[in-house]
Structures are given as C-alpha cells and as structure tokens.
C-alpha cells in the first residue's frame, strides 16, 4: 500500500515537472513569437520603395533609409575585409602552431573574453584611439570598432574548424615533403573552407545589428555620404535615433530598418548553417 502511494507520488511529481517544463517552453516561445510577429507586422507595413531610394528625412517629411543602408554596408564591408585575414591567421596560429603552448592559451582566453565583452567598451576603445586624437567622428572609426568585433568571431570559428580537420591529412601532405606553411594553406585551410566561411558569415550577422560601438565612433549622419573620414549613418544608429524620437513617421522607418536588419541576420545565419560541416 505504502509502496503504491510512493509510486503515485513519483508519477504525480513527474507529471507536474513535465508540465512545468512544457509551460516554460511555451512561455519562452510565445515571447519570441510575439516579437517576430510585431517585427514583421510593423516592418512590412513600413517598407516601401522609398525606403531604398531616399535618405533619412527630417521629422514630418517622407523619406527612406538609403544613406543608413549604404553606411552600414560600407562599414561592415571594411570591417570584414580587414578583420577576416587577421582572424584567420590568428585562428591558424592557435590551431596549427600554438596548440597547447602558453601563449596560445592566453590568446585563446583573451579572444573568448573579447568575443562576449560588452561592445560598448570596444566603442570607447576605438573612440580613444581613432576619434579623440583626430578630433572627429568618422566612418573609419566605425569600421574599426566593427572590426574589433569581427576578429574574435573569426578566430574562434577558424580554430574550431581547423581542429576538425583530421591529422591524417596534415601528415600525408607533410610526408610528400610539403613545408608546414604549404600544408596549412593548401590542405588544412582548404579542408576547413566551408567552416571558415561560416565563421565569416556569422561575424557579418553579428556586426550588422551592432549599435553601441557605432554611436560614438561613426556617430550618425542625415546625408548620403561615401567619405569614410566623415561621420556616417548606419542602420542601427538610425533605428536608435528614430525609435527614441517622438515622431510617428520616424517610428515607422525604425521598424522598417529593424526588419531589414533581422532579415539580413536570419538569411546569413541560415546560409551559415547550411554550410557548416556536420559534427560526427
């Protein structure tokens, strides 16, 4: 009898906690669904051709986001072009040369800290070295602050992907007489190519919504601007400015920008996922 009571109690507890975790899952997923819903609802109703053809308007007038889009694209491109080779080489050092050495340990540690360090702090860093000494906000500073965010992402994925390459490949190439540098460049990099590209795409996804460091490096601009020595608009900075303003039309444009960013990020992550090598 007592035993049966115990079983009943355990079953009850089981049902209770299962229900709780289903509820937790429901709770979490509902929030996320709500956010996506209002993003798509408000975003799509605000997106039109003007968004892609006109520059950001003064309050009360019609306009678009093209200067912000162009600014974001220019700065992100610069950041990725500069950050990828650096990250690739540093990741290669960690996976191929440094391995278990003391220096590699420290670099790995520092890199993982930079990977999740507050991005606003990287903004201050770039402000101190690129904005304050030259007395002015600039697109270059914005690109540099994004580059500081790109590097750790590329380092991390490059190292992970290179470590997945079987050692047999390296040994086979070395046995054919290839110097180590050639082994790395022609065999290991090639074998890990898909994974490394994934890392770069993830880095692009990461910086395309990054706002905090841009606020005081590239600042913002309400004009079309291709000159990297001048302050430059970017989608996240414009969203921040417009959403915090009291103007209704600016709010609509902020939603449109938010939708553009999310769509970009989700597309990039889906492509990155499809390239990622399966773990065994």
d(CA 126, CA 124): 6
* Binding of another protein by 69 (CB under 8 A): no
* Binding of another protein by 73 (CB under 8 A): no
Rg (CA), the chain: 24
Binding mask 237-266 for another protein (x = CB under 8 A): --xx--xx------x--xx--x--xx--xx
Decide whether 225 or 250 has the Cβ nearer to another protein: 250
- C-alpha 39 chain-centroid distance: 19
Give the phi and the psi of residue 136 in degrees, each rounded to 5.
Answer: 175, 145
Report yes or no: 147 and 82 within 8 Å, Cβ to Cβ: yes
82-111 residues near another protein, rule: CB under 8 A: 85-90, 92-94, 96-98, 103-104, 106-107, 109-111
21-40 residues near another protein, rule: CB under 8 A: 21-25, 27-29, 31-32, 34-36, 38-39
99 backbone φψ class: left, alpha, beta (φ>0; ψ -120 to 50) = left
* Binding of another protein by 8 (CB under 8 A): no
* Binding of another protein by 234 (CB under 8 A): no
Decide whether 53 or 81 has the Cβ nearer to another protein: 81
Strand, helix or coil for residue 135: coil
Q: What does 17-28 look like in DSSP terms, one character per residue?
A: HHHHHHHHHHHH
In whole angstroms, how close is the CB of 164 to another protein at the nearest point? 14
Q: Is 228 exposed, middle or buried (0-12, 13-18, 19+ CB in 10 A)?
A: middle
* Binding of another protein by 112 (CB under 8 A): yes
Which of 57, 152, 195, 199 touches another protein (CB under 8 A)? 152
Decide whether 37 or 52 has the Cβ nearer to another protein: 37
Please give the size of the binding site for another protein, defined by CB under 8 A: 95
SS3 content of the chain, % helix, strand, coil (to 5): 75, 0, 25
């Amino acid at each position: 009898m007592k035993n049966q009571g115990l079983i009943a109690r355990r079953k009850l507890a089981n049902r209770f906690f299962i229900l709780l975790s289903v509820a937790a899952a429901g709770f979490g997923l509902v929030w996320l669904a709500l956010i996506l819903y209002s993003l798509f609802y408000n975003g799509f109703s605000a997106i039109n051709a003007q968004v892609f053809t006109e520059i950001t308007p003064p309050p009360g007038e019609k306009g678009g986001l093209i200067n912000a889009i162009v600014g974001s694209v220019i700065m992100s491109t610069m950041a990725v072009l500069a950050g990828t080779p650096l990250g690739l080489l540093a990741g290669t050092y960690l996976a191929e040369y440094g391995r278990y050495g003391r220096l590699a340990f420290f670099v790995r540690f520092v890199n993982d800290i930079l990977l999740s360090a507050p991005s606003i702090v990287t903004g201050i860093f770039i402000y101190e070295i690129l904005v304050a000494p030259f007395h002015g906000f600039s697109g270059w500073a914005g690109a540099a602050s994004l580059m500081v965010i790109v590097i750790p992402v590329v380092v991390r994925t490059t190292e992970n992907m290179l470590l997945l390459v079987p050692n047999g490949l390296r040994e086979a190439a070395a046995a054919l007489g290839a110097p180590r540098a050639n082994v790395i460049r022609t065999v290991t990099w090639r074998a890990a190519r898909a994974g490394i590209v994934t890392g770069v795409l993830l880095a692009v996804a990461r910086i395309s919504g990054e706002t905090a460091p841009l606020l005081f490096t590239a600042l913002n601009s309400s004009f079309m601007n291709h000159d990297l020595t001048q302050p430059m608009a970017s989608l996240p900075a414009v969203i921040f400015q417009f959403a915090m303003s009291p103007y209704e039309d600016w709010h609509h444009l902020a939603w449109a920008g938010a939708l553009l960013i999310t769509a970009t990020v989700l597309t990039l992550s889906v492509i990155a996922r499809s390239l990622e090598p399966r773990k065994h």
